[in-house]
Amino acid sequence: MTELENYLCSLRTFGVRPGLENTQKAISALKERFNIQKEPKFLHVAGTNGKGSTCAFLDSILKEAGLKHGLFTSPHLIDLRERIKIDGEMIGEKRFEELALEVKTMGDGLTFFEYLTVLAWLYFSLEACEYVVWETGLGGRLDATSAVEPYVTAITNIGLEHTQYLGDTIEKIAAEKAGIIRPKIPLFHTCEGEAKDVMEATCAKLDAPCKFVTYTEGYIQPLKYFISIPEIDLYNAELGLIGNYQYGNAAIAAKIANYCGIDTISILNGLKRAVWPGRLQILRKVPITILDCAHNAQGWQALVRSLLDISEGKWKIYFGMLKEKDPKLALEILEPIADSISYIEPQNERKLSCEEWKKLVPNDRRFEKVFKNSAGALTDIQAQTEGNILICGSCYMAGEILALIEGKTRDNSKDDPVGKN
């Protein structure tokens, strides 16, 4: 490891530290140092699930419109630099190192995620991006990404996750995520129930236009998903990301693009050409093999619903997760569609080990396979010649599988200390 890489890894020891002061201070100092007079228009996206896919749709639409734009997302699947892209290309190694050293001169005190947030802001500002698709890390109100002023905000949905940081009810978590809303800046959302009430109340308080996104769904075999939004003259727009949970994400992206003045043809093409690895990704068609990053109850439930569009049969599931998640709940949701559930131990310090998994599952043949690493699991998966195969449970484990398939090396020392997984 280089000295800079060691420094980055050392920041992970700070864990999560909610608050904006350090990030705002670093951005302000860098703005003065580099005489940055104009910042990009930030499209700030939050939500329990779907925010990454929404960002992928927006990224694709902006590319089709020919607009220079940045994309900041987390976590990465294989390479840390995946998180920071301009016009679909991740930041180069040399440029990353240059800007990382500039941020380092701001002094110690930034967490791992704050550091990357400041670096991304600096890169996009220096490169004069017109727009930046800007995904939150954890929550919203005190997330480092909220240190910038947004051009528009979006919240996909609200579920129970990271309750130790965000609160133990939908209402409390919705309030934290609604913290990205700014006075007079429009919010586009697909929240329902209590979460919708929180969005409307927050927007009313801040005099921010509250846009609840509605759309019409369409589906035809094999695996073709469409949306229509008559109010923006969008009809039968095919989605490049499959799964019936993508309707709302695509609709939010389309409405934001329309608000930004992007033409309908670019929106149509962008929705159709969107790519987001690890989200209901088809690795192989025969036998059908799906890779998905779903890692919480809401995500697993949405995944199961979408799998019914692919096959009504049972699935051979290869599953790996982090210790802070709820394995019993995962089993409850996944077991009804499972022919078998094999466990893969993620190469992450927060992993749920094979030994811990075995204590949780029934002692029968459906759960007999466990793998201490993804390489062993992938060998077993590739040897399968029939049935439906699903790999899910963790973004990090999904990254390990993709790295093996692509012949790349994945460095887990650059994973987030907590939060995305």
DSSP states of 299-364 as a string? Answer: HHHHHHHHHHHH-SS-EEEEE--BTTS-HHHHHHHHGGGEEEEEEE--SSTTBPPHHHHHHHS-SS
Give the domain CATH number at 401. Answer: 3.90.190.20
Classify residue 420: in a domain, yes or no: no
Sign of CA dihedral 78, 84, 85, 91: negative
Classify residue 203: in a domain, yes or no: yes
How many Cβ atoms are within 10 Å of 350's Cβ, its own excluded?
Answer: 17
Give the domain CATH number at 246. Answer: 3.40.1190.10
- Are residues 18 and 150 located together in one domain of the fold? yes
- Are residues 259 and 292 located together in one domain of the fold? no
User: Would you state the pLDDT for residue 349?
Assistant: 82
Classify residue 419: in a domain, yes or no: no
Boundary of a domain, candidates 273, 295, 323: 273
What is the rounded distance in angstroms from the CA atom of residue 166 to the CA atom of residue 390?
30
- Are residues 258 and 349 located together in one domain of the fold? no
- Are residues 251 and 343 located together in one domain of the fold? no
Boundary of a domain, candidates 236, 254, 273: 273
DSSP 8-state code for residue 233 = T
Q: How far is CA 283 from CA 1, 186, 305, in A?
A: 32, 38, 19
Boundary of a domain, candidates 250, 273, 296: 273
* Helix-helix angle 93-104:3-11, to 10 degrees: 60
- Are residues 199 and 104 located together in one domain of the fold? yes
Classify residue 379: in a domain, yes or no: yes
Cα distance between the two ends of the chain: 24
Per the document, the length of the chain is: 421
- Reported as a single tens digit per residue, the pLDDT across 299-312 is 999 999 999 888 88
- Are residues 253 and 302 located together in one domain of the fold? no
User: Would you state the pLDDT for residue 1?
Assistant: 53
What is the rounded distance in angstroms from the CA atom of residue 348 to the CA atom of residue 395?
11
Predicted model pTM: 0.94
- Are residues 264 and 351 located together in one domain of the fold? no
Classify residue 299: in a domain, yes or no: yes
Classify residue 116: in a domain, yes or no: yes
DSSP string, 178-191: GGG--TT--EEE--
- Are residues 103 and 198 located together in one domain of the fold? yes
DSSP string, 335-350: GGGEEEEEEE--SSTT
DSSP, collapsed to helix, strand or coil, labels residue 210 as: strand
Classify residue 421: in a domain, yes or no: no
- Are residues 237 and 369 located together in one domain of the fold? no
Q: How far is CA 326 from CA 22, 118, 300, 378, 419, in A?
A: 33, 32, 11, 24, 15
Residues of the chain with pLDDT below 50 are: 419-421
* Helix-helix angle 51-64:264-273, to 10 degrees: 130
- Are residues 380 and 310 located together in one domain of the fold? yes
- Are residues 239 and 374 located together in one domain of the fold? no
- Are residues 214 and 348 located together in one domain of the fold? no
Closest CA to 389 of 360, 415, 369: 369
Angle at 34 between CA 32 and CA 40, to 5 degrees: 90
How many Cβ atoms are within 10 Å of 34's Cβ, its own excluded?
Answer: 12
DSSP 8-state code for residue 219 = E
User: Would you state the pLDDT for residue 163?
Assistant: 57
Classify residue 196: in a domain, yes or no: yes
Element (H, E) at 45: strand 41-46
Domain span at 386: 281-414
What is the rounded distance in angstroms from the CA atom of residue 297 to the CA atom of residue 85?
30
User: Would you state the pLDDT for residue 413?
Assistant: 74
Strand partners, 240: none
Q: How far is CA 177 from CA 47, 48, 73, 348, in A?
A: 7, 9, 16, 27
Q: How many domains does the chain have?
A: 2
Both tokens of 23, joined, read 């990030």
User: Would you state the pLDDT for residue 67?
Assistant: 98
Strand partners, 86: 70, 89
